[in-house]
Every structure is written in C-alpha cells, then in structure tokens.
Amino acid sequence: MSEVIPALDGVVETSLYVDDVGRASAFYRALFGFEVMIEDPRFAALSVAAKQVLLLFKTGSSTSAIEIPGGTIPPHDGSGQMHLAFSIPAAALPAWEERLAAQDVVVESKVAWPRGGHSLYFRDPDGNLVELITPGCWPIY
C-alpha cells in the first residue's frame, strides 16, 4: 500500500532574523518595493509579489510562545547568515543589476548555472545572503 500525501500548495512565509527590524524592513521596502502588512519592534511582515510573506524577526524576540486570540505561536529563532532567493524573469536580470548598483548594494557573486539560469548574490544589512534567480537553475525552475 502506498502512502497518500495530503496536498501542499507551496511556501507562504519565509523568515529572517535581524538585529533591527526597522532597518531591515526599510532595506527590503526600498530595494524591492515590498508593502508592509504588519510591523512592530519585534517583527515585520512584508508582502512579496502579493502572494508570499517575508517575515523579519528581531533576533531573540520570539524564543517564547506567543498567545494570540486564535491560539499559540510556538517559539522560534535563528542566527547566522541565512539565505533566501527571489525569482526574477531572465529579461529583468540587467535591470536588477542596475537597480542594485543604484541602491549601493554590492553584488557579491554572479553565477551562470549549467541549465541556463543566472543568480545575483548580495547581502542585506544583517549579512543574510539574498539571491535573485532566473529560470533555468533548478529542474523545477
């Protein structure tokens, strides 16, 4: 008998842990134009392409469970140089290189993948590694 795996639609939220939520939020809003859905000193929730959420948590601020009217959010935290990638159309790669330069964001690395995709890597103010990636990197993208 084979196992039946219930449906899964994708990743809705991605979290980064930062020293200063306001500074990190300002960086992502200025560079990407993300809209703030919720922001306070502990965290910010930013809308990514109106279909995903980038959560920016102050490091150490979510190590205890948080009670909300609908239930309990279990504790979580992270440290170090995390990584996330945002998808971009291949045709937008030159425009993103120009935008990063105009925003004084240093591109740390450029990669041309064997399948034909390209990546630009740079750091946010907390040292997290941010990647802009075009189709052709992974068999599924």
CATH for the stretch 1-60:
3.30.720.120
Tell me what pLDDT residue 1 has: 72
Reported as type and span, the H/E element at residue 14 is strand 13-18
Tens digit of each residue's pLDDT (9 = 90 or more) over 71-129: 999 999 999 999 999 999 999 999 999 999 999 999 999 999 999 999 999 999 999 99
Residues of the chain with CATH 3.10.180.10: 81-141
Reported as type and span, the H/E element at residue 27 is helix 21-32
Tens digit of each residue's pLDDT (9 = 90 or more) over 22-61: 999 999 999 999 999 999 999 999 999 999 999 999 999 9
Residues of the chain with CATH 3.30.720.120: 1-60
Question: Cα–chain-centroid distance for residue 41?
Answer: 19
* Alpha-carbon dihedral 72, 75, 85, 35, rounded to 10 degrees: 50
The CATH homologous superfamily to which domain 81-141 belongs is 2,3-Dihydroxybiphenyl 1,2-Dioxygenase, domain 1 (3.10.180.10)
pTM of the entire predicted model: 0.92
